[in-house]
Structure 1
Amino acid sequence: MQNLFKKIYQFISNKNRLKIEILKWIAIALFGFCFSLGINFLSPILAQSSPSSLIQQGVQLLQQGRAEAALEVWQQAEVIYRKNNDRIGEIRSQVNQAQALTSLGFYRRSCDTVLQAFNNDLQCERLTESDLKNVLPRFNTSNTNLNFQGLQSLGNGLRVLGKLALSQRVLEASFPLVTSQNIEGRLLLNLGNTILSQAQGIANFKLRGKAERKAIIQGLSYYEKAVNISDEELIKIQATINHLSLLLELNRQRQNNSGDNWLQPHVQFQIDTLPQIIDILNKINPSPNSIQATIKFAEILMNFEQINAKSTVAQLQTNFAELTLPNTINEQFLNQAIQQAKIIHNSRLEAYAIGTQGKFYQNIGKLENALNLTNQALAIAQKISASDIAYQLQEQLGDIFLQQENSSEALLAYKSAFNTLQVLRRNLVALNRDIQFDFRANIEPLYRKLVALLLQPELGSTQPKLSYIKAAQKVIESLQLAELDNFFQNACVNAEDINIDEIDKNAAVIYPILLDNQLSVILKLPGTDNFRYASVSDKNFAAQFQETLFNLRVNITTIRGINKVKLP
């Protein structure tokens, strides 16, 4: 780099004024090019910076959504702190690196980084209850705030990896380190988030016992206390919105919403607090966390119509309708989130916000607007390689095309989403736990939508194309593998495609899949391309199937109970 500028200087000294002007523009373009390439070109300069200034630079980069650049800056700071024998600074830089790794989606590596920063030679994925006896005492540097920050990062990391009981234990161990109400508010917010994750992680959640109800009440109470004691606007926003999300999660997952009067004080908290939060959201300075909260709030508002009218939570619908027009404020918040994401140059949040706005227009029937916005968001997501956002936008495109009765374009969109998700599948367990916990709601339907379109009969026939039957077979196999990954929380990275004929030439394989009001079955017989397909459908088929399945489970439970009875 120095030789390059030396040659430019020599060249300037021998040329006329016009060429000097040209070279000035070349120099500007060169610096712009270096900046666009990221921080790697600037590493020698960073090495000469003070580590504290590097910490601040990393914070600014992360605010802009440039997590990779922030990570490298903090790595540079760590090296300098280590050379200076500054152990506190070294740990701080490593804890900051964990934040950047989380933003990049490297959740295991992020969690492990926090452990190793405090001299724990362990991996979060294998951490057990007994390990905490040795792990927790190591968060004992002379800097109390750093110890607290480390425990929060570890607790949040364990939550993301699905170790919810350990997450709660680690976060609760932070209480003795609380030095202010704002710090306590942050701790209570994180504890509430762990309990929210527990609620999201239970399929068909039912409050069957006092223990479950007590846990939910505790989570709601954590959020409420965080709002009441903290002066930080962002904590108030996040705690209120997550509190609302937990209430709606309970409403969504419980099939029978009667007998939920115990939620009344928590619903009243929302009624009293929400107007204040809306006012804060309109005024707060933009940051990645505040923009995420704004988008999340808009998403929650889009789901308000799904609240069971007989539930206690339904009071929120009435109150919010009186407070403002839901569609108007939703559009306002999404426009605000898009503009703020642009202001802080965060392309990931921009794609997320524009995509959510596309979903909003889809919900209210403005399909052309929805299509344009979703395509716009997808282009941004693909440009920054945000595959976890891209597959959802591709699926959203498929949904919009279906609403427009354009099956061919819908099929192409679902195929693209499926292919993107296949790339992500091996990292499914490393994805944010919000995605994993909502596997049945957010990921599984994509497979079923694609299979449903592939198995549409050809024109003038009762059977799909053979090539489509084969493609549907592959999708069903991928769904089964993804279900195993999600169940065991461990991606089957060593899974290999093996033709069944190589194992048993006379074997037949049955591929059943439940679609909307339809049971479809693919039969793979011995030989090449030897498939059979059949389906059973009825407008009430799905409900009847679920009722039969429920009765079967009841009978199995009853039989097990009888078998446990000891006869005299």
Structure 2
Amino acid sequence: MRFSRFGLVSLATVPIAIILNVDVGFPSRLLGSGFDWQLIQPSQVLAQTPEERKAEADRLFNQGIEQFQTSQFEAALQSWQQALIIVRAINDRLGEGAALGNLGIAYSSLGDYTQAIEYYQQHLAIAREIKDRSGEGQSLGNLGNAYGSLGDYAQAIEYLQQSLEIAREISDRFGEGRTLGNLGTAYRSLGDYAQAIDYQQQSLEIAREINNRRGEGLALGNLGTAYGSLGDYAQAIEYYQQSLEIAQEINDRDGEGKALGGLGNAYDSLGDYAQAIEYYQQSLEIAREISNRQGEGLTLGNLGTAYYFLGDYAQAIDYHQQSLAIAQEIKDRRGEGRALNNLGSTYHALGDYSQAIEYKQQSLAIAREIKNRLGEGGALGNLGSTYHNLGDYSQAIEYHQQYLAIAREINDRDGEGLALGNLGTSYGSLGDYAQAIEYHQQSLVIAQEIKDRRGEGYALGSLGNAYDALGDYSQAIEYHQQSLAIVREIKDRHGEGYALGNLGLAYDALGDYSQAIEYQQQSLAIVQEIKDRHGEGNALGSLGNAYDALGDYSQAIEYHQQYLAIAREIQDRDGEGTALNNLGVALFNSGNLVAAEETLFDGIRVWESLRSGLGNNDAFKVSIFEKQASTYRTLQQVLIAQNKTDTALEIAERGRARAFVELLQQRLLAADWAAVLKADVTDGVSRNSDNPTSATSVTPSVANIKEIAQQQNATLVEYSIISDTFKVEGKEQFKESELYIWVIKPTGEITFRSVDLKPLWQKDDISLDELVYISRDAMNVRGLQRASVRLRPGFEQKHQANQTEQLQQLHQLLIQPIADLLPTNPEERVIFMPQSSLFLVPFPALQDEEGNYLIEKHTILTAPAIQVLQLTREQRKKNQEQEIGNRESLVVGNPKMPSVRPDFDKPPEPLTPLPGAEQEAKAIAPLLNTQPLIGSQATETAIKQRLTNAQFIHLATHGLLDDIRGIGSAIALTPSDSDDGLLTADEILNLDLNAELVVLSACDTGRGRITGDGVVGLSRSLISAGTASVVVSLWQVPDDSTAFLMTQFYQNLQQNQDKAQALRQAMLTTMKQYPQPLQWAAFTLIGEAE
């Protein structure tokens, strides 16, 4: 047995591809057109104008060109606008067309392609009117370039083909060569590299034929870019070198800078970042020398990207900030979006996801503003990557689906493959490996079709990762070997390092640690050679894990300490937390409990500082905690091993529902502060007071926990599931090890018990998750649990569900070990704090050996955390203190159902009506002295308006809880013109509720996405919005028994029973008429009993 650790994933594709935009002259795929624009010289167009006006127009044209060439695009616009006024005044249509064309190029350089297209269209109209075939060809070419820059390649190619025909018709070999090059750029952007190379070769031939040395250099550079896109970096470097030689020969400093930038891109792709930086620095010097501000900004961005891959994030941010400043100064919106995107990617690497998302959202906004579809897709993909790393896979999938749609719309094959790969990775993280493999296979097919060798290698690596997660290690290794062969063939050292690391991980999972270490050592050597500090840290961490598995703890500790040092050096906070976790595990395994405790506490402090950096964003905090929960569980083990059971309880509580607790505290503080301000206004007293603070600290203490048990006058039961890594049939598997249980009596007495879970899977071949599943299945409940439990093939055939047997087995695990500590008076309350799949356990229906149900012995409530109980009590107190007149009740039943998508890629379908819910609402409404809202009356708009003033709320309708739909948890109501009929958990969070009680009588309303923060769903949102108590169902409840139970419940409340007692008595009464637990045990009370 070994204790749990993080599997450090050194993936052949960074698990989710982050799009860093490298762009110098011959740019990488994402940003930077690569199109060759043709400025129109005044001498070409002003031959027959009055001498005085002609001279002024000439001067303005030339002034504009000089300004343009030094990136003074706004100034160039003004010069050409003035020239336009003059040529129009002297009725020089040829000159007018030229001015319009140049204005279009200036707007293109500013990233305003829509405005540029408008000017090009005007130029085209004039050229056709005066039969200026040369001008017509130029304007068509510029239109093609503008549409290409927007990502509309089909339209770009159409215009460029028309331009090409004209150039050939009028024997304009110069224009023909330039247009062929631009067609090559468009096809490269489409991912059709063979066609791109063909056009660039034709462009090169013409340039050599007419002795156009500049054009020759440009074509050679574009060929270098095309071969770089194919992953043939040796060929790319050869072409860039030839382009550089020509530029230096003809003293074309701009061309020289572009060629140097292209060489930097190629070496960057090879993982030779030191060489890349050297070339970028030379390119930067030239850009500054010739006052090419746009080129300077692009090159600064490239330097930032190179330092990003070196793991020097501080230097990367500095360069990207400089790039951003220049783009903003010269009003280059496209460059601004690129710099913001790169800043977002760098902060992503630092683990500062909130800042990363902010920058990426700004990048997305700019792309949409300038109608840059290619940039929009890239920004969406990068947002998806950050949400993936936050652990919010449903949001990640939503963004990647949008990216995929855009890539397909603009026929961006490269982007399509990237989006498909990212979707595969997100679905894999959700555990849907079949879907993950399908997406990775599609990504692989595209890479092979467009002959993108690097993309092919990375897709194979991603397939290897998916099969690794499935446990099919031989298939995983085969894919990783294929990936390794390709990256070695194209000399991609960065990719080679990650492929070797992946092979190491696969052999580690197989239990072949010597082979794993060999591969990780090879990976480490490469990342150290190319100075990839982030990759070096990952490799060291993976080596530490392998040695830990071998039992060589001193070596494991040494490697983890090295990883920790690197993470701190490069300010990788996420990596620092991971290193501390794994170091703590190794210290624990070595028996050094004191050092392990100190290290894991340090790890928790890192995680909590990362969460605090997310501000008030509840969703981010919930998602990121999923990655961090292991540290809290391991620290509990370390503390229990030292018999520090009370401190372990503090950590168990500290490690659950943190985002929920912080959200509730934030809401309560806001309400307290509002009350202070209101008092100030009312009594006219001026107070210089800080914001009031709650009595509850964010970090729970044993004293605080005891106080809460006394306040609740209840016995609190907190569960914590501990999992470890075990070798099963020669393979490492993560299995449940122990169940920690703390019982806190109203007197403040705390008792700790531990249950051994290993016999479940060692003898019965079943996990706790699976046991919960089959217990529900034995009760014939209908619900969504199947989506959250991955059953092994043949599991259901082997484990036939037996209701009594399964409910008794759960009782034996969860209740029997603490039965002697629970109250003997059935009226006394017991509040369970479940974890993970235990949130799905029907506690009232658990049976002891005599067949007695738990609800017959105890009054039962649940809560996600002990601290939540104190906060809901404060919530209720706040509600009672508020002066609210004419409180009413709100009862809703069977609205006219909205339509929802069954999956991301499926069209919306209407939800099924619930006639039984309608009858339930009609039966309950009189008990609450109100009229029910039925069918079309129950619009989302009407319900929202009434929710805030309602004392009792009863909603008998569908509850949607499957995040794969892309909407998260929601209550189904009647749609209207102003809303979709889905009152989502996020929308509920934004309401100000003062309800004593909300009852969600529908399908699975007690469920939601089960996370380390508890159940992220409707109950959580309702309590956070101000509700003191919520009654929810754990499965889709039968109509007749539910109507009966709810009627009993409200009648009991009218007899002044508290909510918990009222629900218990309603269950006991219903049990007599409807004896099956399916019919009476679905409901649970969360929050305040009184």
Q: For residue 465 of structure 1, what is the aligned residue in structure 2?
A: 659
Q: Which residue of 1 aligns with 2:355?
A: 413
User: Aligned in 2, Cα 1:444/1:76: closer, same or farther, shift over 3 Å?
Assistant: farther
Please say if residues 65 and 348 of structure 1, whose CA atoms lie closer than 8 Å, have aligned partners that are also in contact.
yes
**Cα deviation, residue 57, structure 1:** 1.0
1:97-116 alignment runs, 5 A limit: 97-116=103-122
**What CA distance in whole angstroms lies between the structure 2 residues aligned with 1:295 and 1:445?**
27
Shift of 1:111: 1.3
The alignment status of 1:353 with 2:299, answered yes or no, reads: yes
TM-score normalised by the chain length of structure 2: 0.32
Deviation track 1:123-156 (CA, whole Å, cap 9, x = no partner) reads xxxxxxxxxxxxxxx6374544323212211222
Contact 1:391 1:416 in 2 (8 A): no
1:34-45 aligned at under 5 Å gives the runs: none
Quick check: 1:75–1:93 contact (8 Å CA) kept in 2? yes
Kept after mapping to 2: 8 A contact 1:394/1:414: no
The gaps in structure 1 that reach 5 residues or longer are 1-45, 121-137, 200-214, 252-265, 306-325, 471-482, 485-499, 537-568
Change (3 A) 1:511 1:399: farther
From 370, 375, 382, the counterpart of 1:435: 375
- Tell me, yes or no, if structure 1 residue 528 matches structure 2 residue 722: no
- In the alignment, the residues of structure 2 paired with residue 77 and residue 228 of structure 1 have an alpha-carbon distance, to the nearest angstrom, of 37
| Amino acid in the other structure paired with 2:76 | A
Aligned residue among 245, 269, 288 for 2:225: 245
- Gaps of at least 5 residues in structure 2 are 1-51, 393-613, 615-619, 633-653, 665-903, 906-938, 945-954, 971-983, 992-1006, 1013-1090
Q: Which amino acid aligns with 1:164?
A: Y
Match of 2:265 in 1: 299
Give the one of 599, 619, 624 matched to 1:456: 624
Q: Give the alignment partner of residue 225 of structure 1, picking from 187, 202, 206.
A: 202
Question: Number of residue pairs matched?
Answer: 389
Structure 1 CA distance for aligned equivalents of residues 361 and 253 of structure 2 = 33
Q: Which amino acid is 1:113 matched to? A: Y
Task: Indicate which of 151, 156, 177 corresponds to 2:167.
Answer: 177
Q: CA deviation at 1:426?
A: 3.8
Residue 381 of structure 1 contacts residue 390 of structure 1 at CA under 8 Å; is this kept in 2?
Answer: yes
Compared with structure 1, are the counterparts of its residues 217 and 456 closer, same or farther at alpha carbon in structure 2 (3 Å cutoff)?
closer
For 1:193, the equivalent position in structure 2 comes to: 185
Alignment of 1:221-300 (within 5 A): 221-230=198-207, 231-250=211-230, 270=236, 273-280=239-246, 285=251, 291=257, 294-300=260-266
Tell me the distance in 1 between the aligned counterparts of 2:201 and 2:663: 52
Alignment-derived partner of residue 343 in structure 1: 289
Does the alignment pair 1:60 with 2:60?
Answer: no
Change in 2 beyond 3 A, CA 1:468/1:226: farther
Tell me what 1:149 maps to: 138
- Contact 2:144/2:155 (CA < 8 Å) preserved in 1? yes
Equivalent-residue separation in structure 2 for 1:363 and 1:52 (angstroms): 48
- What do the CA deviations read for 1:493-514 (whole angstroms, capped 9, x no partner)? xxxxxxx953875776668479
Partners of 1:170 and 1:119 lie apart in 2 by 14
Q: 1:177 to 1:504 in 2, by over 3 A?
A: farther
Q: Which digits, 9 at most, give the CA deviation of each residue in 1:339-360, with x for residues without a partner?
A: 2222233434323211211211
Contact 1:435 1:442 in 2 (8 A): no
The letter of the residue matching 1:109 is Q
Measured against aligned partners, the alpha-carbon deviations of 1:15-59 in whole angstroms (never above 9, x if no partner) come to xxxxxxxxxxxxxxxxxxxxxxxxxxxxxxx99961122111111
Partner of 2:431: none
Q: 2 CA distance for matches of 1:155 and 1:67?
A: 21
| Cα distance change on mapping 1:375 and 1:270 into 2, 3 Å | closer
Partners of 2:941 and 2:114 lie apart in 1 by 37
Larger Rg: 2
Structure 1 residues 98 and 292 mapped into 2: Cα distance closer, same or farther (>3 Å)? farther
The one-letter code matched in structure 2 to 1:341 is: A
The aligned residue for residue 211 of structure 1 is none
The answer to whether the Cα contact below 8 Å between 1:94 and 1:113 also exists between their aligned partners in 2 is yes
Shift of 1:419: 4.5
Work out whether residues 257 and 283 of structure 2, in 8 Å CA contact, stay in contact via their aligned partners in 1.
yes
Counterparts of 2:129 and 2:111 in 1: how far apart (Å)?
A: 28
Q: 1:94 to 1:183 in 2, by over 3 A?
A: same
Contact 1:140 1:147 in 2 (8 A): no
AA matched with 1:110:
A
Cross-structure match for 1:333? 279
Greater share of helix: 1
Contact 2:180 2:203 in 1 (8 A): yes
Q: Deviations over 1:156-201 (max 9, x none)?
A: 22333444334323322233434354332201101112212322xx
- Which residue is 2:4 aligned to? none
Deviation at 1:296, TM superposition (A): 4.8
Deviations, residues 285-315 of structure 1 (Å, cap 9, x unaligned): 567676456435523432235xxxxxxxxxx
1:446: how far off?
Answer: 4.7
Q: Pick from 928, 932, 941: which aligns with 1:502?
A: 941
Tell me how far apart the structure 2 counterparts of residues 172 and 181 of structure 1 sit (CA, whole Å).
15
**Does the 8 A contact of 1:522 with 1:532 survive in 2?**
yes
Pick closer, same or farther for the CA change 1:501–1:247 going to 2, 3 Å: farther
Match of residue 684 from structure 2:
none
Q: 1:275 is matched by which residue type in structure 2?
A: Q
CA RMSD across the alignment: 4.3
Match for 1:145: what amino acid? Answer: S
Change (3 A) 1:414 1:270: closer
Give the equivalent residue in structure 1 for 2:496. none
Q: Deviations over 1:432-467 (max 9, x none)?
A: x55246456556435545675722128832446259
Deviation at 1:69, TM superposition (A): 1.4
Identity %: 21
Shift in alpha-carbon separation, 1:286–1:362, aligned structure 2, 3 A: farther
Cα distance change on mapping 1:103 and 1:535 into 2, 3 Å? farther
Deviations 1:211-254 (A, max 9, x none): xxxx6533211111212321444433443343343344455xxx
**Further displaced range: 502-511 or 327-336:** 502-511
Equivalent residue number for residue 97 of structure 2: 91
Alignment correspondent of 2:635: none
CA distance in 2, matches of 1:378, 1:456: 29
- Say which of 392, 399, 424 aligns to 2:366: 424
